[in-house]
Amino acid sequence: MKTIKLIPTLGRRFALSAALAVTISGTTFQTKAADEQFFPLQSYRVGPYAAGGTGFFGGFIDYLNLINIRDGGVNGVKLTWAEGETQYEVERGVEVYERLKNHPGIAAWNPLSVGIAYAMIDRITQDKTPLITINHGRTDSTDGRVFPYVFPLLLNPYSETSAIINYIGTKLGGLDQLKGKKLVVLYHGSPYGKETIPIYELLAQKYGFTVQQIEVPHPGNEQESQWLTIRRAKPEYVVLRGWGVMNPVAIKTAQKVGFPADHIVGNVWSNSEEDVTPAGEAAKGYVAITTQASGAQYPVLQEIVKTVYGAGKGNLEDKNRIGSVYHNLGIVNGILNVEAVRTAQEKFGHRTLTGDEVRWGFEHLKLDPARVEALGAKDLFHSINVTWDNHEGDGYVTFQRWDGKKWNVVSDWIAPDWALLRPIIEKSATAYATEHNIQLRTAAEAERVDTKPYVANK
């Protein structure tokens, strides 16, 4: 009794309110942190690449919505997101990153732009948050020893190149038939477009064909001179490494100069309906590589149509685009992100994860064909097997031909020549590590996970 009287009133009041504040803030922290995993989206719905942006982010959001509506989130953890418009411009992407990076419970960044991804590598490595560049990005970030937080999932640009050359080889009757042949690569004048220049040169040396690489300045709505050069060069095949409006213009101009569409092979960003439909008849017979088939017949798409669009929460304005290439890529991207979160939750608990925990989830993301089927995505994509040092995850590709109305798959699931590419990737990655004084990460270090939520420096 006596002691209490001795405490000055002011001090007691302070102690009480402090205790109260701690309990209140403690409880709010818990309820807030217990049930949300956040996806910051640097989307682009206007500008020259809006078709890709609306389809991809539409599919991604549709899948997150499906998980929320059908399953109540991932093991009870709700998935949330916020969008910031980038128009595919680097500085806008950086601005959106700075705007959203302090949101609690960030799972991963998915900018769908090589330029923006490049600008974020330093930043997200410091924040310890994964950066997903599905089917694109910096090839040497496949090497998880040097880039712990960057994931060019399913197909990095070099694997894509290898698969395309293999496909052309089989069309010619075997890889040895490539010898003495001539190929032209028509590439988009951007970091993304240039990424594969050295690997085409290397494969040309290996297989004895000649390759001429021609740039189309961004955005690519004028290609007369490039195609006249191609007509003079008379190549066996043209590889179209385009993006956005460049693709239909390329196909139309090819027809104008008399180059047959069935000898143009599109890369993974020249493979959508939006790339061929504007070209009309000229695109008939055009073949493109893809990691995910198009069409809405897959169970996961049927569920999205029923559950998400049925509830009026679908993200695509034009329902005809459901099941299109970009929409399906967004859905596959959603599956990979959500499954990485699920994988990490099995280890760290069913709660909001830190960026580093999700990174661990991505590094243990294994979806074999059986699991893919269980997810309702059989034949939509093949499989993935990401490890701590292979951040691509051995994705398979297939080829599809445009018949004027829709894409038809014309090949099996094909594996790129990973064994050939790995040493090249490691060489480039270790060069980057030396230049930036980065210690190569070991398997043991990859297992060490930061479970403290990230707080941005002020």
Q: How far is the CB of 247 from another protein (least distance, A)?
A: 18
Which residue lies nearer to another protein by CB, 45 or 263? 45
Q: CA 97 to CA 386: how far, in whole Å? A: 25
Which residue lies nearer to another protein by CB, 45 or 406? 45
Which residue lies nearer to another protein by CB, 123 or 284? 123
Q: How far is the CB of 72 from another protein (least distance, A)?
A: 21
φ/ψ of residue 266, rounded to 5: -85, 145
Q: CA 238 to CA 265: how far, in whole Å? A: 6
Q: How far is the CB of 169 from another protein (least distance, A)?
A: 23
- H or E element in which residue 151 lies: strand 150-151
Which residue lies nearer to another protein by CB, 99 or 347? 99
Q: How far is the CB of 197 from another protein (least distance, A)?
A: 6
Q: How far is the CB of 99 from another protein (least distance, A)?
A: 6
Question: Closest Cα partner for 449 from 368, 367, 343, 369?
Answer: 343
Question: Closest Cα partner for 186 from 156, 229, 157?
Answer: 229
* b/e map 423-458, b = 16+ CB within 10 Å: eebbebbbebbeeeebeebeeeebeebeeebbeeee
Q: How far is the CB of 198 from another protein (least distance, A)?
A: 5
Q: How far is the CB of 156 from another protein (least distance, A)?
A: 12
Q: How far is the CB of 458 from another protein (least distance, A)?
A: 6
Which residue lies nearer to another protein by CB, 9 or 437? 437
Residues 6+ apart with CB under 8 A from 408: 400, 401
Q: Measured between alpha carbons, how far is residue 345 from residues 69, 340, 364, 370 in Å?
A: 19, 8, 11, 21
- The single residue listed with the structure tokens 């280890």 is 347
**Pairing between β-strand 398-402 and β-strand 287-290 as defined by DSSP bridges:** antiparallel
Q: What is the amino acid identity at position 329?
A: L
What is the DSSP annotation of 182-240?
A: EEEEEEEESHHHHTTHHHHHHHHHHHT-EEEEEEEETT----HHHHHHHHHH--SEEEE
- The single residue listed with the structure tokens 């990973």 is 418
Residues that bind another protein (CB under 8 A): 43-46, 50, 54, 82-85, 87, 90-91, 94-95, 98-99, 102, 114-115, 118-119, 121-123, 138, 189-192, 194-198, 215, 218, 315, 436, 456-458
Which residue lies nearer to another protein by CB, 84 or 369? 84
Which residue lies nearer to another protein by CB, 158 or 407? 158
Which residue lies nearer to another protein by CB, 191 or 369? 191
260 cis-preceded (ω within 30 degrees of 0): no
Q: CA 108 to CA 87: how far, in whole Å? A: 20
User: Would you give the distance in Å from CA 331 to the centre of its chain?
Assistant: 11
Q: What is the amino acid identity at position 400?
A: Q
Q: CA 353 to CA 181: how far, in whole Å? A: 52
Which residue lies nearer to another protein by CB, 218 or 441? 218
Q: How far is the CB of 44 from another protein (least distance, A)?
A: 8
Q: How far is the CB of 88 from another protein (least distance, A)?
A: 11
Q: Is residue 433 within 8 Å of 440, Cβ to Cβ? A: yes
Which residue lies nearer to another protein by CB, 87 or 229? 87
Which residue lies nearer to another protein by CB, 185 or 380? 185
Question: Closest Cα partner for 48 from 289, 332, 248?
Answer: 248
Which residue lies nearer to another protein by CB, 77 or 124? 124
Q: CA 273 to CA 275: how far, in whole Å? A: 5
- What end-to-end distance do the CA atoms of the chain give, in Å? 46
Q: How far is the CB of 436 from another protein (least distance, A)?
A: 7
Q: How far is the CB of 290 from another protein (least distance, A)?
A: 22
